[in-house]
Amino acid sequence: MLKIHSLDTFGTHDGPGIRLVIFVQGCPFRCVYCHNPDTQALTTDKMQLLDTAEILELLTKEKSYFGVTGGLTISGGEPTLQAPALIELFRECHRHGFNTCLDTCGAIFNQTINELYDLTDIVMLDVKHIDPIWHQKITQNNNENVLANALYREKSGKELWLRYVLVPGWSNQVEYLEAWAKYFADYKSLKRVEIIPYHKLGVFKYEALGRKYELEGVQPPNGEEIDQALIIFSKYLGNKVVVV
Ligand code: SF4
């Protein structure tokens, strides 16, 4: 059974084409800008439980919208906290002809996660900062496992997308943008890099949860700041880089 926060039956932002996007509960990171803090706990009294057969039924209903590129994306929260259930689900997806995407922060690295990656058609990995100290400040964890997951994917030769949330004062330092892009410049599995400008859409959720919002006063990046990141990333990663 997968512990689920919510579903988007017509997702167009998390992977190619039109997708069923399932946002699962649970995340080991505590990102300062998290816009889904209500997904961080692994269990809540509002969560839904769905098994593989129920998810396949949803996919079958939507099949005609998927075309060649669409399919299933599991996002969160952090999906790999529920890796055993996803391994079973992704196996069945392939048996029924549905492609699979995993939107992950890369927090956990072990053999089970390796197995899940092998069953995933596109891994969309958030590398939130290249510097371990800044990564720790942003997520409360260092980036060792994140980079190990990226390398595992590269060695497997299967498709990898990277995502980067651009936050003024936190993740827009020129030297680290350069270092981030250089780090992945030779990755052959890397097909797309998404720069995601920070936004404040989830701030109201912190109030509802009675939690302090750490980025009070931080504004979304302006056009110039976004262009700067795009130019730096594109210098090393070419036209794979997009702002979304
Ligand atoms: S990894 Fe994603 S879900 Fe987890 S805390 Fe960070 S932004 Fe939120």
Taking the C-alpha atoms of residue 67 and residue 196, their distance in angstroms, rounded to an integer, is 26
Whole-prediction pTM: 0.97
The pLDDT of residue 148: 98
Atom of ligand 1 lying closest to residue 105 CA = 1
- 71 CA to centre of ligand 1 in angstroms: 23
Ligand 1 neighbours by CB, cut-off 6 Å: 27, 29-31, 34, 36, 39-40, 76-78, 105, 139
Letter for the amino acid at 24?
V
Q: Given the DSSP bridges, would you call strands 160-166 and 48-50 parallel, antiparallel or unpaired?
A: unpaired
Ramachandran bin of 210, using left for φ above 0, alpha for ψ from -120 to 50, beta for the remaining angles:
left
- Tokens 């039924």 belong to 57
pLDDT digits (tens, 9 = 90+) for 208-240: 899 999 999 999 999 999 999 999 999 999 999
Instruction: Quick: pLDDT tens for 118-158.
Output: 999 999 999 999 999 999 999 999 999 999 999 999 999 99
Protein residue with its CA nearest to atom 8 in ligand 1: 34
Q: At how many degrees (to 10) do helices 52-66 and 83-95 cross? A: 50
Compute, in angstroms, the gap from residue 104 CA to the centroid of ligand 1: 9
Q: 2-243 belongs to which CATH class?
A: alpha beta
Domain boundaries, the chain: 2-243
Q: What would the mean pLDDT of 175-190 be, rounded to a whole number?
A: 98
Render the burial of 176-200: b for 16+ CB within 10 Å, e for the rest.
Answer: bbeebbeebeebebbebbbbbbbee
CA of 216 to the centre of ligand 1 (A): 17
**What was the pLDDT predicted at 202?**
86
Ligand 1 midpoint to CA 136 (Å): 13
Question: Tens digits of per-residue pLDDT, 45-89?
Answer: 999 999 999 999 999 999 999 999 999 999 999 999 999 999 999
**What is the average per-residue pLDDT within 4-12?**
97
